Amino acid sequence: MDLGLRNELSKQGVFTTTLEEIYNWGRKNSVWPLSFGLACCAIEMIAASMARWDLARFGAEVFRPSPRQADLMIVAGTVTKKMAPQVVRLYNQMPEPKYVIAMGACAISGGPFKQGYNVLKGIDRYLPVDVHIPGCPPRPEALLHAFMRLQQKIDEQALTGPQRPRHLVAEAPSEFTVPQFGEHDLVPSKNPAVWHPPVAGRPQEA
Amino acid sequence: MQLSLDQIKAQIEAAVPGAQMTLVQNGSPSGQHSLLVDKEHALAVAHYLRDGPGLRLDYASNVAGVDWPDTVVKEIVRTKGVVDGMEREFEESVERKRLGYLEAVYHLYSMELKHGPVILRLRTADRAGQARVPSLTPVWRGAEFQEREAFDLFGIVFEGHPDLRRILMWDEFKDFPMRKDYVEPDDYEYEPTAHDEVLEKAKRHVSTEGTPQ
């Protein structure tokens, strides 16, 4: 609809919208996170949900104890290799559309523990992460910022066309490979369908 | 009254016949010397340390593992010789190969008599097939999980342990990560701020194919 006409109509008291807008508006304001925390970042996540930072302002105060009712997985904390299969399994159990925020240095890269034998070097090796938050731990404001970025992302999703989100593409995978415990490491140690290590070098001028 | 380690050693040797105790000196400022016990008498010694009068070490606060890999030990040997008709003392450096072993170290305290720590060491014969020491869990129940941890990370087999399984790593895991010769899985494909050791590892993964992002 033409923006001028729309403004004119709203001055006359006629509210117009599109299905896409109202659908995304509804979704972005009721993103229910899965209530689970893995380490100290979870304390900041809890603080963000309490009265002082008040995640309820974004419609996300309803932390769900079941993955079946959750829309958002906040991976808050160190993902150990022993925990990683369970995290992926929980993600697989969530219904589409679903989103992932990787919160903190550990969840995005392994953080201070990345040279250890037992810590996964970032949950993005197994899951498609929508927003990464650096910090050790990130302040609740940083989580709110990530949340607003996610809302922006949801708001900008087109429901039709080739750019439509994954949950509207029938062939797109909704489940991801759960790694198995191997003799020396997780098998596979990364999911090549999800994670591509960046190629070294400077970006070429187009 | 605090007993010195020499006194404790003498007491044990009197109470447990045949026990071979060695005093392991700690040269650092903390000076926490320890007692090395042979494997055959370890359980009897532990019982005596817990129940013996004046000792009453009823609390094992900590069980640690130590890995001593194969090393070459340099020793200075003084020999006397005659040079030009003069008798002189020579210092000679002798290198000796020492086979590696593993140690389980127990820090013992007495809640009743308020003293400690008395540090007890058990040593395995080698680092492979004979990495066995007797479990002291029957004496101090609180050592159970810590002995499991030493088993998990160092591969020390505690004989007589009620439930010796891996406690931190998964059951299928085959390595012992805290050993000096452990090689961690190489997953350094992406290192945004690589330096030193990590840089060396990351370099092996750098690919120049494809489009940089």
pLDDT in tens, B110-144: 999 998 789 999 999 888 878 899 999 999 999 99
pLDDT at A46: 92
What pTM, to 2 d.p., does this model score? 0.84
Going from the N-terminus, what domains does chain A have, and what CATH number goes with each? 31-162 (3.40.50.12280)
Mean pLDDT of B99-116: 92
- Residues of chain B whose beta carbon is less than 8 angstroms from a beta carbon of chain A are 168-175, 177, 182, 184-185, 187-190, 192, 197-198, 205-213
What distances in angstroms separate CA B28 from CA A23, B25, B180, one per listed residue?
69, 9, 22
> Which H helix or E strand runs over A48?
helix A41-49
Give the chain B residue nearest A185 (alpha carbons): B185
* Mean pLDDT of the region B162-186: 91
| List of E strands, chain A | 72-76, 99-103, 131-133, 180-181, 186-187
> How far apart, in Å, are the Cα atoms of B145 and each of A35, A118, A151, A197?
30, 19, 46, 39
The pLDDT value recorded for residue A34 is 93
Please identify every stretch of chain A with a pLDDT value under 50, giving residue numbers as ranges.
Answer: none
pLDDT at B147 over 60: yes
Task: Look at the block and give the residue holding tokens 């993902």.
Answer: A79
Per-residue pLDDT tens over the stretch B8-35:
999 999 998 988 889 999 888 988 899 9
- In chain A, the residue whose alpha carbon lies closest to the alpha carbon of B184 is A117
What topology does CATH give the domain B5-203?
A: Beta Polymerase; domain 2 (3.30.460)
User: Exposed, middle or buried by CB within 10 Å (0-12, 13-18, 19+), for B53?
Assistant: exposed
Task: For residues A18 and A177, give the distance between their C-alpha atoms in angstroms, rounded to a whole number.
Answer: 37
**Which residues from B are below 8 Å from A110, CB to CB?**
none
